[in-house]
Amino acid sequence: MSQVEARYHETEGAGASAVRLVVLLYDQMVRDLNRAQQAIEQKDIEGRTAAINHAVWVLGYLHGKLNMSAGGQVARDLDGFYNRLRRMLLDAQVKVSPEILGQVITDILIVREAWLEVENTETGTTRVSAASTDSISASPSTSRTDWMG
């Protein structure tokens, strides 16, 4: 990512709602995993490892922000989801599997879509992201952000 792109993403995140930040972090994981897939195609072990490691770091950040006591079922569901993604990313790294990475990307985009719907409901606007041009439908479990600490 160029310095200009990094600055844009930094600025976009400044002052954003908790839900918006989650959407932006999901977008970052998708970008990381797309880079990892490209690195696999190019047989770039270092690039693949760096991209997957960054996605794991972002995932760990999201996971660490869950508020299990106040977040109820949403937090428990996200906890399970994040644990599953972490296992899949480890498996993708060990097996050097672009297919597993593709499944992780798909799963992230489905859950991201749910958070995007929550954000749209909260703000009364409609946002889309450059992370995916696919129309993936998912319904959010809640419009509250109790799941985060």
The CATH code of the domain that includes 42 is: 1.20.120.340
Within-domain flag for 148 = no
CA dist 120 and 114 (Å) reads 10
The answer to the question of residue 19 being in a domain is yes
- Domain residue limits at 30: 3-123
Number of domains in the chain: 1
DSSP 8-54: HHHHHHTT--HHHHHHHHHHHHHHHHHHHHHHHHTT-HHHHHHHHHH
Q: How many CB atoms lie within 10 A of CB 103?
A: 14
Report, as ranges of residue numbers, the positions in the chain whose pLDDT lies below 70: 1-13, 127-149
pLDDT in tens, 65-88: 999 999 999 999 999 999 999 999
pLDDT of residue 7: 55
pLDDT of residue 36: 98
